[in-house]
Structure 1
Amino acid sequence: MHGFAICTAPRSGSNFLSQLLSSTGQLGRPLEYFNGPGRRYFDDPDYPDDRNAQIEKILTMGATPNGIYGLKIFAYQNDWVEDEIEWTARLPNLQFIFLRRRDILGQAISWARALQTGQYRHGQTSTGEAAFDGQAILDRLRAIAIEYARWEMYFARNEIAALPVVYEDVANAPQQAVDSIAGLFNLHHVRADARQVSVILQRDESTEKWRRRFVEEFGNLGRVDKLWS
């Protein structure tokens, strides 16, 4: 078997990329397999919390018939797992994809809003109201910067040449993103099927209003933030 981990941060477009890859039928079925509560909510009411059982899910549920598996993971999720199991050693022929978003402020707004409403995907029932909270956006902005920095340090420390993927590029040229990831496995003529991608952009007019207000109220050109202070 061969496979990949999409290493990223929340609200980076990872659901879109994962569904895009799954739609090919050849590039695994990447999901947050180390997120038991999430899997039970979205996919399988009996999904296990046991890490060994989750590894088995990655290699079965997460694999396409050609033996390629996929998963996605956030840096903070790695903290949940690392003391229990050496997951990278348990996954054969593992490669890494580093997915990030250029518009980090937009990402932070999206994450802050999702935390308020409970809506992480289109179609989920809202459990709360969205209201501008500049401090919450700033907190998410810092959290995203830390997530990305931690992955960069992880790759550097282990001398891993992760494949860089940018969400905005994936959105503009989905098939090109599929081609680059298929290239990791020397696969050719792998086609994405847009009909199988159900992720819908959640950004709306209020997002831009929040963006302008945040910059007005929380912007500070005279300061470089300390992420770990």
Structure 2
Amino acid sequence: MTTPTDSYFVCATPRTGSSLLLGLLGSTGVAGRPEAYFREPDEPMWAERWRLPSAADYARYVQAALAAGRTANGVFGAKLMWGTLDQVVAKLGAVHPDLAGRDVALLERAFGRTKFVYLRRDDVLAQAVSWLRAEQTGAWYVGSNGEIDDATRSGREPGYDADGIRALIEQIGEHNAAWEEWFASQGVRPYTVRYEDLDADLAGVTRRILGFLGLDLPEGHTIEPRHRRQSDGLNTAWIERYRLESD
């Protein structure tokens, strides 16, 4: 039998369905209330929401995040993008200097028994197109339940940019490689989820993640998404154009 976890992190890169997955996990009622609590630009907003003087007292900030992100069974969930992880462990290292440089030990000191879900997307071109469009428009998701967004909608119309897509494809590759290197170096065996599998079977993938976390879906409970699909014909057109121009 799998030992239940205290906390888990969804480790991802942008436009892999991470907000969708957080909503699905949150809807179970047993997998915490996962959000991007540790994205540094958003920490002042979370601190204000939690009525903290600031986010500078990191030990207090983490305790507030735990209180906000736990369900009644004590399980906490959160999202980490590559780059955020380094910031979190650096700040925890200042709080717990005896564990500085030992990433997993720091996380477990702060969050208890911790597991990792690694979310990635096989179709990196589609991911890059989605990322570019979100950056241009500021529309990162449709539908929310209190999650703080990365940006406000800019009102800017999306425009095709081959160089921008190419740069994001490279960045995605670098970030995926960095996640995999970190897992290997820390002896972490994450539960890997493909966006394509999630998209095809929202409830099934969510149930399998619960199993990895040692959790059971309450009887009669329904797994429900809180975000709607954003990809449309424009994404498809950009993908086809990029492929044609790259041949």
TM value normalised by structure 1: 0.85
Aligned residues: 216
**Match in the other structure for 1:117:** 137
Q: Please tell me the residue identity of whatever aligns with 1:19.
A: G
**Match in the other structure for 1:82:** 89
Q: Please tell me the residue identity of whatever aligns with 1:53.
A: R
**Match in the other structure for 1:94:** 114
Deviation sequence 1:78-110 (CA, Å, 0-9, x none): 233333224514210000111111211111011
1:134 aligns with 2:141: no
**Does the 8 Å contact 2:89/2:107 carry over to 1?**
no
- 1:1-229, aligned counterparts within 5 Å? 2-38=6-42, 45-46=48-49, 48-50=54-56, 51-86=58-93, 88-89=107-108, 90-122=110-142, 125-190=153-218, 191-194=221-224, 197-217=225-245, 219=246
Shift of residue 38 of structure 1?
3.7
Shift of residue 39 of structure 1?
6.3
Q: Please tell me the residue identity of whatever aligns with 2:205.
A: A
What's the C-alpha RMSD, in Å, of the aligned pairs?
A: 2.2
SS at match of 1:7: strand
Deviation sequence 1:196-219 (CA, Å, 0-9, x none): x321111111111111111222x3
- Of residues 101-110 and 171-180 in structure 1, the stretch that sits farther from structure 2 once superposed is 171-180
TM value normalised by structure 2: 0.79
Deviation sequence 1:27-60 (CA, Å, 0-9, x none): 111111112544666x775465333333223321
Q: Distance in 2 between matches of 1:127 and 1:80?
A: 31
Q: Distance in 1 between matches of 2:26 and 2:65?
A: 13
Q: Distance in 2 between matches of 1:49 and 1:120?
A: 24
- Of residues 120-129 and 9-18 in structure 1, the stretch that sits farther from structure 2 once superposed is 120-129
Q: Please tell me the residue identity of whatever aligns with 2:134.
A: A
Percent of residue pairs bearing the same amino acid type? 30
> Against the structure 1 CA distance between its residues 49 and 61, is the aligned structure 2 distance closer, same or farther, given a 3 Å change threshold?
same
Q: Distance in 2 between matches of 1:192 and 1:53?
A: 34
Q: Distance in 2 between matches of 1:128 and 1:44?
A: 30
**Match in the other structure for 1:225:** none
- Of residues 180-189 and 28-37 in structure 1, the stretch that sits farther from structure 2 once superposed is 180-189
Deviation sequence 1:98-139 (CA, Å, 0-9, x none): 111121111101111111111111266443221001111111
SS at match of 1:84: helix
Q: For structure 2, which runs of at least 5 residues remain unmatched after alignment?
A: 94-105, 144-151
Q: Distance in 1 between matches of 2:244 and 2:48?
A: 44
> Against the structure 1 CA distance between its residues 49 and 129, is the aligned structure 2 distance closer, same or farther, given a 3 Å change threshold?
farther
- Of residues 11-20 and 180-189 in structure 1, the stretch that sits farther from structure 2 once superposed is 180-189
Q: Distance in 1 between matches of 2:156 and 2:59?
A: 35
Shift of residue 73 of structure 1?
0.3
**Match in the other structure for 1:223:** none
Q: For structure 1, which runs of at least 5 residues remain unmatched after alignment?
A: 221-229
